[in-house]
Chains A and B, each alone.
Chain A
């Protein structure tokens, strides 16, 4: 599914073009376009991802940067996760230190999901947590909004009672 790089590798522009085509073939481009990130990574972005260690340093050949299949998979995986709504720091946390085979699997998974279902909300749920006292925590999902406060306070007391009993 992923194009093999020629022995001489790709130039940065070619890498970017291949990544665009790969995302389209995997059915990820449309999802990307709906989201908040651009489908076609540009050369500048690739350099930035390199400084983040998300894309390997290119090979240098005749003083030119040359990219291969792993670079392509790395770039596509970043875009695939961004399409799921992950921020760049979350993408870095997920992808950092990944091998080519793992990234392949991740791309396959994303592609399978893309063909099965329309774009879904992010798969990561953030929770906020407050320690009320040692042994007791209050956990709220990130999209929680308070309902009627008094009713909430009553429920809270009832919950404490239930826990104590």
Chain B
């Protein structure tokens, strides 16, 4: 390793870094020619990012290979940073590079289909969500390689402590798809049918790789941090940093392993050289001759604790996708934020999946005194993950509670949503928020390794609040400090911007049109169009009612990306308006398409298409369409999620009370019956297996536990045959150690070790009853905290089929 190379600390050491590690040198010999295993179309992903002054310019290259004996069309659904401005697309095939053309989406689709029908090679890039995209590469002849190159720019967030981060998402996580499936053909190639609530569900649900399947997609990531050596670098993957050869003032970060899988976001964090959040203004130009500005300002620091008493509703996502470490992290995040409440504040908690459950079974706010906080913490710890993500109804209910307050005078209302945001009907949720006026702010805590960040950020902005992302298992407290301080207490509101000294800020060009309020220690960013690149003045109202005013001068360097970022912000505003004002839909759609094409920035209404006109290569009748299956995100329980779930038509019920967490209770039944039942369960658990082990274990393990408790709750003779069955159960669990990953594997290992202890005690059973009970209590603990939440999962599976 060269002397100036450093190994970066891992951001989240709790996550299994070795999950799914590629096996060393395995050679598979398959003899049937036609049944030969074919490589999946996506052979590699190469990401290069350059970061300067909190603007990242990223290129993503995806390489495709046709390993079949006939032409293929490859489809790949993949993520890019939410809210980024995709401004360039290239298709390289047969030694030629074709520049992508941005066109109205239907037109682009027609061009692409036409090219394929003529036997030509072509590629198309479409946007499904602000962070979900689809690439289609068509008519690749047998054995041929092709590559697409996507370029985008993005503004990076930054935090009070002077840190910033670059997040490169690598996998589209499964999303909960509500609604009833629609008749007729679906629009996309995913595994879910379009539904009345998510009419493009088939475009955002790529197939998943089976557990244990390594697609051997090569991944390289290189990030160049320009201008100043970045301090406190940390990365979510194993990575190294070194000084740039060309520019010693820059830092180069790259992955240190060539076998990282595309199953989690790549996150790089560092501290900015100048660590205070001073205002910054940069300009860029576009071929229309006008100047595009990007301004970031922060609230002045104040030592005083201003603000009114608060009424806070915590809305906790307990859907199936939150199972495992995520729900634990989410509950912990709530507990932490509870502790930021003062005695004058009030709060309540609502947990949702298909059902909405209020804290202590009552839809009311409680005074945040010591006792109520302690009860809240206990309640939070009893919440586990189970059903679907009906976030919309839960939010509506929480907002309604705050809106209906009769005693709200002088109290600031806030909703804190803790979720992974993996829902398909983002539009409906956003719309509800935008329509909700009043003195309620929404704060969002996103918990995941592959979080639906764009959606959560949009939610928070629509709700006049802020969002923060935390990785499950990582240090939550640090990340939550600022949001805790933010809740209900903006420092500057009613912001506006105007030119100062020459420059004229174009009326109506400021994006986002609703300039975010300033919270302590956080910056707000806005983009605008101006006559020339000059200084600007920002006005607003401070929390104490006094006027706020600053003038910001531009920096000398210009950033070409600024024009793209302005267009992206402006398009986001227009897209919001499109959702909210159906009566203006056609006009807004036309405006979006025009702006998108004029500024060369991709939207959901446009698409990039690149056609290789040089030659026709394929008989289109023989085309094989292959959708690249993608990884299950690292912190998800592959075998528990299994099916991407669909909600059954489950009515909402407010005020359902949670059952108390099951304490270790000994159950009493007739000894003979208890033993017979235990024998049955063990017999079932050790019989030749059904298709997937996890599914049947899901139901049977808790039953086994109950049976064991029945059996040991009273002194009954224990038969040698039953001990033998326990041994075969242990034997049956053993292979799971190899097929499961991460926490699930650890869990199985602990389960096996407790079984060992029970078997050992049984073998020499004499006066060890107390020890046995202890072992079974431990077993209960393990089964109770299973990362797969077996019993709930099973019920959910049954409901979802």
**Complex: A16 Cα to B397 Cα, angstroms:** 41
Residues of B within 8 A of A60 (CB): 181-184, 186, 193
Q: Is the CB of B25 within 8 A of A37?
A: no
Q: Would you call B626 an interface residue if the criterion is a C-beta within 8 Å of the partner chain's C-beta atoms?
A: yes
**Complex: A90 Cα to B26 Cα, angstroms:** 14
Q: Is the CB of A62 within 8 A of B183?
A: yes
Residues of A within 8 A of B72 (CB): 97
Q: With A37-B691, A51-B191, A58-B193 as given contacts, are A92 and B27 in contact (CB-CB < 8 Å)?
A: no
Interchain nearest-CB distance for A44 vs B (Å): 5
Interchain nearest-CB distance for A57 vs B (Å): 6
Partner of B797, one of A44, A51, A52, A61: A44
Residues of B within 8 A of A52 (CB): 207-210, 629
Q: Interface digits, A120-136 against B, CB 8 Å rule (1 contact, 0 not)? A: 00011111111100000
Q: Is the CB of A89 within 8 A of B212?
A: yes
Pairs of residues from A and B, 10 with the lowest C-beta to C-beta distance, nearest first: A53-B207, A129-B25, A89-B213, A89-B212, A97-B626, A47-B643, A127-B27, A89-B210, A92-B210, A60-B181
Chain A interface, >50% SS class: mixed
Residues of A within 8 A of B190 (CB): 57
Q: Would you call B541 an interface residue if the criterion is a C-beta within 8 Å of the partner chain's C-beta atoms?
A: no
Interchain nearest-CB distance for B509 vs A (Å): 44
Residues of A within 8 A of B800 (CB): 47
Q: With A47-B801, A106-B35 as given contacts, are A63 and B183 in contact (CB-CB < 8 Å)?
A: yes
Q: Would you call A11 an interface residue if the criterion is a C-beta within 8 Å of the partner chain's C-beta atoms?
A: no
Q: With A50-B643, A63-B181, A94-B35 as given contacts, are A57 and B192 in contact (CB-CB < 8 Å)?
A: yes
**Complex: A62 Cα to B180 Cα, angstroms:** 10
Chain A stretch 108-160: residues in CB contact (< 8 A) with chain B: 109, 123-131, 137, 139
Q: Would you call A41 an interface residue if the criterion is a C-beta within 8 Å of the partner chain's C-beta atoms?
A: yes
Q: Is the CB of A94 within 8 A of B37?
A: yes
Q: Would you call A91 an interface residue if the criterion is a C-beta within 8 Å of the partner chain's C-beta atoms?
A: yes
Q: Would you call B557 an interface residue if the criterion is a C-beta within 8 Å of the partner chain's C-beta atoms?
A: no
Interchain nearest-CB distance for B189 vs A (Å): 8
Q: Interface digits, B789-801 against A, CB 8 Å rule (1 contact, 0 not)? A: 0000000011011
Q: With A123-B31, A124-B29 as given contacts, are A93 and B202 in contact (CB-CB < 8 Å)?
A: no
Residues of A within 8 A of B621 (CB): none
Chain A residues within CB distance 8 Å of chain B: 36-38, 41-45, 47-48, 50-53, 57-58, 60-63, 65, 82, 87-94, 96-97, 99, 102, 105-106, 109, 123-131, 137, 139
Q: Is the CB of B643 within 8 A of A129?
A: no
Q: Interface digits, B182-206 against A, CB 8 Å rule (1 contact, 0 not)? A: 1110100011110000000010000
List 6 additional contacts besides A93-B37, A96-B626, A106-B34; criterion CB under 8 Å.
Answer: A51-B207, A52-B208, A53-B191, A89-B213, A97-B72, A125-B29
Q: Is the CB of A124 within 8 A of B210?
A: no
Q: Would you call B221 an interface residue if the criterion is a C-beta within 8 Å of the partner chain's C-beta atoms?
A: no
Q: Is the CB of A129 within 8 A of B26?
A: yes
Q: Would you call B24 an interface residue if the criterion is a C-beta within 8 Å of the partner chain's C-beta atoms?
A: yes
Q: Is the CB of B191 within 8 A of A57?
A: yes
Interchain nearest-CB distance for B796 vs A (Å): 11
Q: Is the CB of B208 within 8 A of A57?
A: no
**Complex: A87 Cα to B207 Cα, angstroms:** 18
Q: Is the CB of B689 within 8 A of A38?
A: yes
Interchain nearest-CB distance for A141 vs B (Å): 10
Q: Is the CB of A43 within 8 A of B25?
A: no
Q: Is the CB of B644 within 8 A of A51?
A: yes
Q: Can you show 30 pairs from A to B with CB atoms below 8 A apart?
A: A36-B688, A37-B691, A38-B689, A41-B691, A44-B643, A44-B797, A45-B692, A50-B191, A52-B209, A53-B207, A53-B627, A60-B181, A60-B183, A60-B184, A61-B183, A63-B182, A65-B181, A92-B629, A93-B37, A94-B35, A96-B626, A97-B68, A97-B624, A97-B626, A109-B35, A123-B31, A124-B29, A125-B29, A127-B28, A130-B25
**Complex: A65 Cα to B180 Cα, angstroms:** 11
Q: Would you call B32 an interface residue if the criterion is a C-beta within 8 Å of the partner chain's C-beta atoms?
A: yes
Residues of A within 8 A of B625 (CB): 97
Q: Is the CB of B624 within 8 A of A48?
A: no
Q: With A44-B695, A88-B210, A124-B29 as given contacts, are A57 and B186 in contact (CB-CB < 8 Å)?
A: yes
Interchain nearest-CB distance for B499 vs A (Å): 54
Q: Is the CB of A96 within 8 A of B40?
A: yes
Q: Is the CB of B29 within 8 A of A127?
A: yes
**Complex: A110 Cα to B627 Cα, angstroms:** 26
Q: Would you call B620 an interface residue if the criterion is a C-beta within 8 Å of the partner chain's C-beta atoms?
A: no
Partner of A93, one of B184, B213, B688, B689: B213
Q: Is the CB of A57 within 8 A of B202?
A: yes
Q: Interface digits, B147-173 against A, CB 8 Å rule (1 contact, 0 not)? A: 000000000000000000000000000
**Complex: A47 Cα to B205 Cα, angstroms:** 13
**Complex: A63 Cα to B180 Cα, angstroms:** 7
Q: Would you call B300 an interface residue if the criterion is a C-beta within 8 Å of the partner chain's C-beta atoms?
A: no
**Complex: A47 Cα to B642 Cα, angstroms:** 8
**Complex: A63 Cα to B194 Cα, angstroms:** 11
Interchain nearest-CB distance for B386 vs A (Å): 17
Q: Is the CB of A51 within 8 A of B643?
A: yes
Interchain nearest-CB distance for B510 vs A (Å): 44
